[in-house]
Structure 1
Amino acid sequence: MPKTKDTNDFLLRTMKTFDKNQPMWIGMHDKDKEGTIVWEDGSKVLTWGNFEWTNGGLFGVAEDCFALDPYNGKWHDYGCSNTGLLTTLGITPNSKLPFICQYLIKKGQAGSDRGGQGKDNFDN
């Protein structure tokens, strides 16, 4: 969840490193209450926002989930089902839009063998 500009920039650089040229879900939505945007952990988006205000549908009723655009680094709102976004991007509907996984590391876990958890994972 890119809650800071530094995290957003890191994710954008990582997307480019792995040659990801399509938006990725970032764990932010307003599914529960239109216009009240929250992170997947339930916290509100308050201190820093990177919204693309010109995408024509911000706070649209059917556009409740947000993805990071690899070309401009902005957050765009899309329908959560992937289908509308995928069709718009010219991707077949049975393809999946990638997502960004985040694992919280607790004190004492860094460096321990967690079976691959905690690493960046850009595959579905």
Structure 2
Amino acid sequence: MYQEVRGLLSNMLKTDMLKTNLVIINNQEEQKFLISLNIRTWIGLSDIETEGTWRWVDGTPLTTAYWGEKEPNNAGGGEDCAEIYHCITDPVNKWNDNSCTSQLNWICEQTID
């Protein structure tokens, strides 16, 4: 299921063609940089395969998180993708879980060989 969703997202973004993925946030410096862009955006994190088990688009498990207060909450069910949501008042912890079908901006990253 996870690969299926990743494939869907990849097709939507043409990421396979560009050799990119939705951004993976590795540290607080990256988190603060993305917040500084001041846009509501998807990040490459999902629990679509197993509810409550968050994994990055490359399959690695989430180890350091920047969830907003009381997040992730799966409000109403089906909130399986993570976004940076600026309405959360905490200056750093701004992740929110949301329905993967919501129309949001995307930030991708590319690994340079």
Cross-structure match for 1:6: 29
Structure with the bigger percentage of helix: 2
The unaligned stretches of length 5 or more in structure 1 are 83-95, 107-124
* Gapped regions of structure 2 (runs ≥ 5): 1-23
Q: What is the rounded CA distance, in whole Å, between the counterparts of 1:70 and 1:103 in structure 2? A: 24
Greater strand percent: which structure?
Answer: 2
Letter in 2 for 1:64: D
Q: How many residues align?
A: 85
Q: 1:1-124 residue pairs with structure 2 within 5 A? A: 1-13=24-36, 15-16=37-38, 20=39, 23-46=40-63, 48-54=64-70, 58-60=73-75, 61-71=77-87, 72=89, 73=92, 74-82=94-102, 96-106=103-113
TM-score, scaled to structure 2 = 0.67
Shift of 1:97: 1.1
Counterpart-to-counterpart distance in 2, 1:54 and 1:35: 13
What percent of counterpart residues are identical? 27
TM normalised by structure 1 equals 0.61
In the TM superposition, structure 1's runs of 4+ consecutive aligned residues that sit over 6 Å from their partners are none
